[in-house]
Structures are given as C-alpha cells and as structure tokens.
C-alpha cells in the first residue's frame, strides 16, 4: 500500500510492478536495456499511479542541478519578460527550471550576494543578459564555482561558444543610414551610460554609419543618458535649447526616445516636422506613442532562446555553435526630412 498523503516513490512502483527499483529507473531514463514487455508493465504502473521521479533525489544521485539561473540588471521590463520567455522556450523540452535573480550593480553587496547565490544553488548554468554579461569579475566567479554560463552581449568577451552576440553596431549603422538618407546633417546622439558595452557599440556603429555618408558626428551633439525616460528627457531638452539645434536625434534606446518626445513637446517642437527621433529596441512603447517611433528591432525572445540552447548544448553530440543576431530598422512616423528653412 502507498502511504496515504505520501508521494509514490520508485520503491512503490517497483513493488507494484514486481521488478527491482533499478529496472524502474531504467524505464524512467529510457535505457534501451529493458525488455519491451517489462517496460510496458512498468509504464502501466507508473501511469496508473501518476508517478513522477523526485527531482531533488535525482539531482543528488546524478550530482547535477536542474536549475538554470537568469541574472540580470536590465531596467526594461519588456526586455526582461521577453528574455525570460525565450529562455523558457529553450528549456521547455528539458526538465530544467528557470530561477530568476534580478540585481543592481550599484548596490554594495551586489557581488557577494550573487556569489552566495551561485555557491549555494550549484546551478546547471547561468544566463547573463547585458549589462551583467559585461561583468568579467562575475564571470570569473562563475568559472571558479564550475557554473557554466552564456552571455548575451554586443561584443565577444571570451569564447564565442558561450556568447549570444548582438550586432548593436550594425543596428546603429542602419539608423545612421536612414537619417542620412532623409537629408539630415545636423545630427545628435543621446547615448547610453558608459558602463554598458551596448552603449559604446551603438555609438560606434552610428558614427561609422554617418561617416559612410560623409557626415561627421559632432561630439558636441553627443550626450550621455542613463537608458531611462528621465535622462532622455533631460538630454533632449539640452539639445533642443541649442542655438543651432539638431534636426535629428538617435537615442540609445526607446525609453530615452520617448523622453525626447516629451522634451520636444514642452519646447513646442514638432516630431517629425521639426525634429526626427530614432530609438533602439522596438519595445511595445515604440508603437504606442504618437507619432509611432522609428527604431531598431532586436529579436529579444529569440535571443533568449538561443542563449538557452547554447547552455543546454546540442543533445545529439556536443558541438555548440556561435550564434549572433543582426537587428533591423523599423521605420515609422517619427522620422522625416529636415525642415526646409534649416
């Protein structure tokens, strides 16, 4: 008899099926060395009792964790949610679960706290979106603790085999081409914080893209924001107050672009008639503001999925492939040719 209220265990199944627990184990683990008749008999008992192996017991016996950690400090909810979905897409076929760990790199015990987390849990592996992915100290700590990891980053910082690369510079280059094509020449850039590699890559790509059209990016028109609405607003306010103000602004992400909308509105400057604004990320807000925002789209969910797959490794063999994503420009209504009289 099965203990009332208690879970049925491998022993119960073994007894009920008249085999040893090892045989049950073999059935569970799809070992080929079980006679079909035996397998069926055991399967029937398993199903009849809704048996499912205890994950902690397996983990202990196999010296393996079934938990994947996602460690992140990204400020955009949409980014986080899409990334989580993507990772789960990859984990779906496996029996791994996703444990989340938001953090703040500015907090004092940020590093120690994550170290404890990693040491205690002995994860199957960890996935690091930017900007956590750029923290080499953290990655070193993971390696010290034998925790494999996949970085999502705009540059390859160690092996390409554990990086999902996003070609941020190419996305920014496309934005530059679009703006230049429209005929703009006085062009500003509100970049992200220097602590983010993506911010450098986007800046670099944007500058390159303009250069390809023979346009120089005036360093006086490059301001540093914090990837937030408020900083976008502040930087744009400064730009719009200039004597000879720019006719186009490329913002390092959508949040800052929406802040720039607000700055333009308060200054009585029309988008896109007086000023063109371009964002980056294509988060949902980009198509909910008015005018709808021209921006650069990253397939965030697919990137998460690729990261998950990289972490799992190829089930048939163990070759792991280098994965990279190229962003594309989404043209909407926030960009137009510069005003005639300018």
Partner DNA sequence: CTGAAAGCGCTTACAG
Is there binding between residue 18 and a second copy (CB under 8 A)? no
What tokens were used for 339? 């005003």
Region of 51-59, 144-152, 216-224, 328-336 interacting with DNA (CB under 7 A) = 51-59
**Interface positions, 122-141, toward a second copy (CB under 8 A):** 122
Is there binding between residue 81 and DNA (CB under 7 A)? no
Name beta bridge partners: 297.
281, 328
Contact 317, 282 (CB under 8 A): no
Query: For a second copy, which is the closer residue by CB, 206 or 227?
Result: 227
Which position among 45, 187, 251, 258 is part of the footprint of a second copy (CB under 8 A)? 258
Measured from the Cβ of residue 282, the count of other Cβ atoms closer than 10 Å reads: 24
Is there binding between residue 45 and DNA (CB under 7 A)? no
Is there binding between residue 67 and DNA (CB under 7 A)? no
Sequence-distant contacts of 235-241: CB under 8 A, at least 24 apart: 235/190, 235/259, 235/260, 236/190, 236/260, 236/262, 236/263, 236/264, 237/263, 237/266, 237/267, 239/188, 239/190, 240/264, 240/267, 240/269, 240/275, 241/267
Region of 3-11, 199-207, 227-235, 253-261 interacting with DNA (CB under 7 A) = 3-11
Measured from the Cβ of residue 75, the count of other Cβ atoms closer than 10 Å reads: 15
Q: How far is the CB of 61 from DNA (least distance, A)?
A: 3
Measured from the Cβ of residue 149, the count of other Cβ atoms closer than 10 Å reads: 23
Region of 152-160, 188-196, 198-206, 286-294 interacting with a second copy (CB under 8 A) = 286-294
Query: For DNA, which is the closer residue by CB, 22 or 321?
Result: 22
> Residue 310 — left, alpha, or beta (φ > 0 → left; ψ -120 to 50 → alpha)?
alpha
Q: How far is the CB of 65 from a second copy (least distance, A)?
A: 7
- C-alpha triplet 183, 189, 193: angle, nearest 5°: 160
Which position among 10, 217, 275, 289 is part of the footprint of DNA (CB under 7 A)? 10
Which position among 5, 30, 63, 318 is part of the footprint of DNA (CB under 7 A)? 63
What tokens were used for 206? 């944007």
- Which residues lie near DNA (CB under 7 A)? 6-7, 9-11, 18-26, 28-29, 32-35, 37-39, 53-54, 57-58, 60-63
């Amino acid at each position: 008899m099965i203990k009332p209220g208690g879970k049925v265990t491998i022993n119960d199944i073994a007894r009920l099926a008249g085999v040893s627990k090892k045989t049950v184990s073999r059935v569970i683990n799809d070992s080929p060395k079980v006679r079909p008749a035996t397998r069926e008999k055991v399967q029937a008992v398993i199903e009849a009792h809704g048996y499912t192996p205890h994950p902690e017991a397996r983990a202990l016996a196999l010296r393996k964790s079934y938990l994947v950690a996602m460690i992140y400090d990204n400020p955009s909810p949409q980014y986080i949610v899409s990334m989580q979905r993507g990772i789960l897409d990859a984990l779906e076929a496996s029996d791994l679960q996703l444990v989340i760990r938001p953090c703040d790199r500015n907090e004092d015990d940020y590093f120690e706290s994550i170290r404890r987390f990693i040491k205690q849990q002995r994860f199957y592996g960890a996935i690091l979106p930017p900007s956590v992915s750029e923290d080499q100290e953290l990655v070193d700590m993971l390696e010290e603790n034998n925790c494999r990891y996949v970085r999502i980053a705009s540059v390859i910082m160690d092996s390409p085999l554990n990086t999902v690369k996003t070609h941020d510079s190419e996305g920014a280059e496309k934005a530059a081409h679009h703006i230049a094509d429209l005929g703009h020449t006085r062009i500003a850039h509100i970049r992200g914080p220097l602590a983010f590699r993506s911010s450098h890559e986007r800046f670099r790509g944007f500058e390159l893209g303009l250069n390809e059209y023979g346009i120089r990016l005036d360093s006086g028109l490059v301001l540093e924001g914090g990837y937030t609405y408020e900083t976008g607003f502040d930087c744009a306010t400064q730009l719009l107050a200039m004597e000879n103000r720019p006719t186009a602004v490329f913002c390092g992400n959508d949040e800052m672009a929406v802040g720039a909308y607000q700055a333009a509105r308060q200054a009585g400057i029309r988008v896109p008639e007086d000023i063109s604004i371009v964002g980056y990320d294509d988060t949902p807000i980009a198509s909910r503001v008015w005018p709808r925002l021209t921006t650069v789209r990253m397939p965030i969910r697919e990137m998460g999925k690729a990261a998950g797959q990289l972490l799992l490794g190829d089930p048939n063999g163990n070759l792991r492939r280098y994965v990279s994503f190229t962003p594309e420009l989404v043209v909407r209504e926030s960009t137009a040719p510069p005003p005639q009289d300018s």
